[in-house]
Amino acid sequence: MKIESFRLKLLNILKIYDIKLMIENAIKNKIIDKAYELGFQKIGFANADFYSEDRENIYKWIENNYHAEMEWINKRKEERTNIFEYFPEVQTVISFGYNYYTGKGSSEISEDYKFSNYAWGDDYHIIIKKYLFNMIEFMQSILGEFKYRVCVDTSPVMEKKWAMRSGIGWIGKNTNLITRDYGSWLFLGEILIDKKVEPDQFFDNDLCGTCTACIDDCPTEALIEPYILDSSKCISYLTIEHRGKIPNDKADKIDNWIYGCDVCQEVCPWNIKFANKTEDLHFYPRSQIKERNKIEDWNINRQEFNKIFKKSPVKRTKYEGFKRNVEMVK
């Protein structure tokens, strides 16, 4: 009798556990469905945890001065390498991927200059953050109130690492997150919550294989070895983050880029084969960009710069930086 009673109790416990798991999976699936409804192509869940290799890698990267003049990376390295330093209550990191590829290359905008794909339209920080807050509103309607952080690029969160841990893709030799079905043309965002959600499997396959196209084709040899970027040599860094004059030995290799650089993405086989055009018109080239075919068309004053690039990521380089880039390409 005692054995039978124990067996019945155990079955009841397992039944309760199964019901609880079913409810949790149903809630998770609702969150996933809402993400797709809002236009996200990718979503994944990861348990918040501390990874000592993250700290070791970024400390070494900073020690080698590969962060160049981006002192904000160094200042918040403790938070960046330990998510609990940034948000102590975090239990789950939800990663999102949003396709921004417009199906056009720089040469289709102009043969006279090059302009990074991600900056042709509206500022993704604003757009993606808006979508993520819509996610928060929905999640609170099914989970109740909870503590959270919304992150889009500017937070001290290693977004590519968390996207990998949530199963979205792998970090390629060009240091970008790459996915099987969208390549690397994805904006990343995160929602950190103080609730536990069943995690997805790590994406632990490196599908770059023996390919070194990104390393071989980088105009400035900024990819000094697979998975390691020296920012001080990177055209994106030089034309966006760097302040002041660009050294002549690097300016000679800018290759007509006046804002950012897409070379390591354009030559990636995963992008060549699997890139999909976005349906979000926010990220298509603004008319003020498309109508400027010649580099001379960018002889603009500060007022024109502010008008053309209102709510655009190009504001990051400031008028002085943009003017410098244009003069360098002339």
**Tell me, what's the pLDDT at 21?**
54
204 membership: H or E segment, kind and range: none
The DSSP output letter for 268 is: -
Half-sphere exposure for 2 (CA within 13 Å, toward CB):
0
**Tell me, what's the pLDDT at 18?**
45
Partners of 188 in the β-ladder: 97
Tokens of 55: 């700290």
Q: How far apart are CA 26 and CA 40, in angstroms?
A: 19
- Those residues with Cβ within 8 angstroms of residue 30's Cβ, 6 or more apart along the chain or in another chain: 142
Tokens of 250: 């690097």
Q: How far apart are CA 100 and CA 121, in angstroms?
A: 10
Angle at 55 between CA 53 and CA 56, to 5 degrees: 65
Tokens of 76: 């918040």
Q: What is the pTM of this model?
A: 0.92
Radius of gyration of the chain, Cα coordinates, nearest whole angstrom: 23
Report the largest interatomic distance among the alpha carbons of the chain, rounded to a whole angstrom.
92
Q: Across the 330 residues of the chain, what is the mean pLDDT of every consecutive 10-residue run?
A: 55 49 80 97 98 96 97 96 98 98 82 92 97 97 95 96 98 98 97 96 96 97 98 98 94 94 96 94 93 94 97 97 94
**Tell me, what's the pLDDT at 187?**
98
**Tell me, what's the pLDDT at 17?**
44
Q: Catalytic positions, please?
A: 153
Cβ neighbours, 10 Å, residue 104: 14
Domain ranges of the chain: 38-329
Positive or negative torsion for Cα 299, 301, 307, 309: positive
End-to-end CA distance of the chain: 91
**Tell me, what's the pLDDT at 251?**
92
- Residue pair 261/278 in contact (Cβ under 8 Å)? The answer is no
